Structure 1
Amino acid sequence: MALQALKNINRAQSAVEAPKDKGFPALLEKYKGEIARALPKHINPDRMVRIALTAFRMTPKLGECDPRSVFAAVIQSSQLGLEVGLMGEAHLVPFGDQCQLIPGYTGLMKLARQSGLVQDIYAHEVRVNDKFTLKLGLERGLEHEPLTGPGGFPASDEERGDVVGFYAVAVFKDGSRTFVAMSRKEVERIRDNSRGYQAAKRFKKESVWDSDFVAMGLKTAIRRLCKFLPKSPELATALALDAVSEQGKAQNLNLNDVIDGTYAPVVIDEETGEVLEESAKPTPVAAEAKKDAPAAQAAAPTANGKLTAAIKAMEGAKTIEALDEVYIRAEVELEGADLEALMREYRRIKANIDSLI
């Protein structure tokens, strides 16, 4: 019943029930109880509502967006396990009359750690007066010694000089490491290919690349690193949402899909803007039938034995940690519609496990 109550938002007459000047706060207040019952067990609904309202009020232009799109972005963020606003894990950003959900680099790092296979992940900028050594080949290595001041403490950014590059490092549970290093020119090339940045320049507006270049550079390095990491469904979705936004495209956060856990953004290469994978959203009839069908039957149309085996293995998981491990090992062998089907089944099974905790 909670899910259906939330879906009824789409049927509401926004001009009557949710006027745009106060529509989003009104929706949050009206559906607070349903939100609490629909969210994953580890999400505190009161805290989510409070943080979402703060983020909404800090960006006045969100009041010009369809309140249902803001609501969908907040629910999607909560399902990913990210908090919008001041913590920088995710941001609510106006895109015409729609709200988009933009993961921050701290949010991407959080999701990478939560995959269960990444023990730590971090990124740093390198400045011209730092000591930086990069070694590739059979024995890879990376050393970074920031310029220090009195007492051996890090010098100021002004003393360290201009930013010349970025790197990101991931430490796996077995202690092994992987990293990426990117020059400033390489990061700026990716920035210049971003349609969002191009639009800001065309209309002579300041973009986040102008106001916070270092944070965007760190995020670019983290995104590059994530290509080489095992990805949970949450991390994969966050990366896709971010890439879509960077290329100036609509995320199409449909409220019903978000509530059902079937939302899947178009997958875009953030460096080239090339569409790598179109979202294969089920029709309403197919989605309804899927709810009543066993997992193996839902997967049968793909005729993919690997998918069926992976879903069966996920069905046997008794904990979220075990479920995550099965998913991460399976997702590297699937792609396209099969990968989306795996992700949907993961979310369904995860919700079932959550309900038993």
Structure 2
Amino acid sequence: MALQALKNINRTAAANNEQPQGFPAMLEQFKGEIARALPKHINPDRMARIALTAFRMTPKLGECDPRSVFAAVIQSSQLGLEVGLMGEAHLVPFGNQCQLIPGYTGLMKLARQSGLVQDIYAHEVRMNDTFALKLGMERSLEHEPLTAPGGFPASDEERGEVVGFYAVGVLKDGSRTFVAMGRKEVESIRDGSRGYQAARKYKKESVWDTDFVAMGLKTVIRRICKFLPKSPELATALAMDEKAHAGQGQNLNLNDVIDGSYAPVDVAEGAEEIKDKPPAKAESQPQSAKAVSKLEKLDKVVAALKSASTVEALDEIYIRAEVDLEDAELDVALREYRKCKDAITEQGSLV
């Protein structure tokens, strides 16, 4: 349940025509309320310490609106990810706003915790490794890293330059799937990143320069996650990461984050695009029919979510919805899923 004390952060600052207090002071002031807003398995004291450490490690965050930092920290906890040194998620300045960017270890954690994926892992392939990839009717992937005397892995220097990356997903039934990307393909994705482009423009180092292997691993993890069954938490993390990669705002609204109804895409904005976007002259009828079809599918999904009586049924409906919905419509479904889940959980606690 949303806590009014936290929601009043925005309202009080506006009413008093004041800048909100700094993030460390805000974290201390609302520690008790944070504890009640977090999922039960999250330790609020540990979360606060980790968040404060992450904040101090990035001085530029001090120039961000502290409410956005606060929202990013709460959202990270809602997803079940720790910000900072563990690499599960990172607080990153974006103008005067803070963004929450999941790391590849965070994406793997969410995939495993969904209960739909038994395991997920990724590795880089180097020049002197043995690597064999076979696609078609019978797919296979084999990777043998170069070994040193005694059979232990050789050093990165001995193995040579990185030539590619791959990720493997093991589903609940034991079946496996994988993706493999050569270095040039990964670098092409890097070059399309707004953060990397900005770093090149202003002649600064980016995370791609300092941690190329980690970013390559994240790239293949993101790619394979698109083909795996996703929990709402993983879907949200991927959408937030995609927004950051494209250099767009994440729409981190403190009230929505506290409610647990946050979605990376502004739903109202997405609905307006469907309603107001003028159709192309040559394709006006097909585009209009497509928009109506999307809204009809969304209405059916929302109705099904509202009629579900158990969390298991909700999960099943949402997973199926991922096949038929995309972008703004899927975000609407995600918000409705969370509201229905909260209602079922609260009703169960009263019984």
Partner letter of residue 319 of structure 2?
I
What aligned pairs does 1:218-233 form with structure 2 within 5 A after superposition? Answer: 218-233=217-232
**How far apart in 1 are the matches of 2:45 and 2:336?**
28
- Structure 1 residues 303 and 248: alpha-carbon distance in aligned structure 2, compared to 1, 3 A threshold: closer
- Structure 1 residues 219 and 138: alpha-carbon distance in aligned structure 2, compared to 1, 3 A threshold: same
- Residue 18 of structure 1 and its aligned partner are, at CA, apart by 3.9
Residue 12 (1) aligns with residue 12 (2)? yes
**How far apart in 2 are the matches of 1:74 and 1:112?**
20
Residue 307 (1) aligns with residue 301 (2)? yes
The residue aligned with 1:201 is 200
The residue aligned with 1:52 is 51
Helix, strand or coil at the partner of 1:264: coil
Unaligned runs of 5+ in 2: 273-294
Partner letter of residue 237 of structure 2?
A
- Structure 1 residues 104 and 182: alpha-carbon distance in aligned structure 2, compared to 1, 3 A threshold: same
**How far apart in 2 are the matches of 1:182 and 1:2?**
43
- Residue 79 of structure 1 and its aligned partner are, at CA, apart by 1.0
Q: Deviations over 1:12-50 (max 9, x none)?
A: 33885744xxx1111111111111112222222222111
- Residue 354 of structure 1 and its aligned partner are, at CA, apart by 4.9
The residue aligned with 1:181 is 180
Partner letter of residue 54 of structure 1?
T
Match of 1:342 among 325, 333, 338: 333
**How far apart in 2 are the matches of 1:25 and 1:131?**
50
Helix, strand or coil at the partner of 1:180: strand
The residue aligned with 2:291 is none
**How far apart in 2 are the matches of 1:345 and 1:109?**
25
Using the size of structure 2 for normalisation, the TM-score is 0.85
- Structure 1 residues 234 and 173: alpha-carbon distance in aligned structure 2, compared to 1, 3 A threshold: same
The residue aligned with 1:93 is 92
Using the size of structure 1 for normalisation, the TM-score is 0.84
Partner letter of residue 304 of structure 2?
A
- Residue 306 of structure 1 and its aligned partner are, at CA, apart by 3.3
Alignment identity in percent? 78
**How far apart in 1 are the matches of 2:6 and 2:197?**
37
**How far apart in 1 are the matches of 2:85 and 2:344?**
31
- Residue 76 of structure 1 and its aligned partner are, at CA, apart by 1.0
Residue 316 (1) aligns with residue 304 (2)? no
- Structure 1 residues 126 and 336: alpha-carbon distance in aligned structure 2, compared to 1, 3 A threshold: closer
- Residue 229 of structure 1 and its aligned partner are, at CA, apart by 1.0
Q: Deviations over 1:49-89 (max 9, x none)?
A: 11111111111111111100100100111111111011100
Maintained 8 Å contact 2:112/2:120:
yes
Residue 84 (1) aligns with residue 70 (2)? no
- Structure 1 residues 279 and 263: alpha-carbon distance in aligned structure 2, compared to 1, 3 A threshold: farther
How many residue pairs match? The answer is: 323
Q: Deviations over 1:133-153 (max 9, x none)?
A: 000000000000000002101
Maintained 8 Å contact 1:104/1:219:
yes
**How far apart in 1 are the matches of 2:326 and 2:246?**
22
- Structure 1 residues 278 and 187: alpha-carbon distance in aligned structure 2, compared to 1, 3 A threshold: farther
